[in-house]
Structures are given as structure tokens and as C-alpha cells.
Amino acid sequence: MSINDRGLLLVRHGAGTWLIQGSADGLIYAAGDRLAWLLPLLEQSPAGISAMLPHLSLADTPLPALVRFALTAWGEYWPALALDWLESGWPIQELLDVLAEMKDSRELSQPLRHRAAHLWRKVVLP
């Protein structure tokens, strides 16, 4: 699966090991060690990503770790995209700790804090 327009590919190797392959240099890296390189995948919808991996559960990919990583990333852009994924139905239960930190963070913008609080309350206070 293509990660970006610079030739990075996310590939599954063997029994479920996920790798990032660079087309320019041909080098291969463990996906879990390079989550920042996967961030552009969040610019697509979870449904779009799922369509590219039709025979796999997204839980068995590096995507859960990517969403967690993006929620704690620098700036506003990547956390906002990760919240978009959660608002579109991505599983929230395993991310309640991060959402709780986000909703109380003084470093995040008010819109991000409010979105995190809404998602957190949706699960914790049904």
C-alpha cells in the first residue's frame, strides 16, 4: 500500500510483520519503528484504507499504533486527523487514556480539547 507520493510503501511480510519500503533507496524498515512515516495515511479515511486491505483486520496492522501516535504528535494537524478517524468510527476504547490527557491539556487548542472530551465522554459517560 502506498503511504505517500514519494514512494514509501507499507508492506506485510511473512506472518504479519509490517515493513516500510523506500522506493528511492530500496531500504526496508520496521513499520512500528517509523510511525511518523505512516502519518500521511491519516489523510485518507479509515474506510479508504480498509478498502486497500480488504482481507485484513485493521487491528492487525500498524494503524492502531499510528492513531495513538498521531493523537500525541506535535502541532494540531496530525492530532486533528486522528480525531477525525475516531469520529468516523475508529475504535476508541483503547485510546481513552490519550483522550483523557488531550481533553485536559493546556497545550492543545480549545477545539482539539473539546473534540477529545466529547469522544472521551461518549465512552466513559454513556
Higher pLDDT, 126 or 13: 13
Per-residue pLDDT for 111 more than 80?
yes
What is the residue range of 24's domain? 8-124
Q: Is residue 84 part of a domain?
A: yes
Reported as a pLDDT band with limits 50, 70 and 90, residue 59 is: confident
The number of folded domains in the chain is: 1
Given this model, what pLDDT does residue 108 score?
Answer: 95
Chain-centre distance for alpha carbon 125: 24
Q: What is the pLDDT of residues 74-104, one digit of tens each?
A: 999 999 999 999 999 999 999 999 999 999 9
Q: Is residue 65 part of a domain?
A: yes
Of 18-22, 24-28, 63-67, the least confident = 24-28
Q: Is residue 3 part of a domain?
A: no
Other C-beta atoms lying within 10 Å of the C-beta of residue 122: 13
Q: Is residue 2 part of a domain?
A: no
Q: Is residue 1 part of a domain?
A: no
Q: Is residue 75 part of a domain?
A: yes
Question: Which residues are CB-contacts of 118 (< 8 A; sequence separation ≥ 6)?
Answer: none
Q: Are 21 and 2 in contact (CB under 8 A)?
A: no
Q: Are 63 and 54 in contact (CB under 8 A)?
A: no
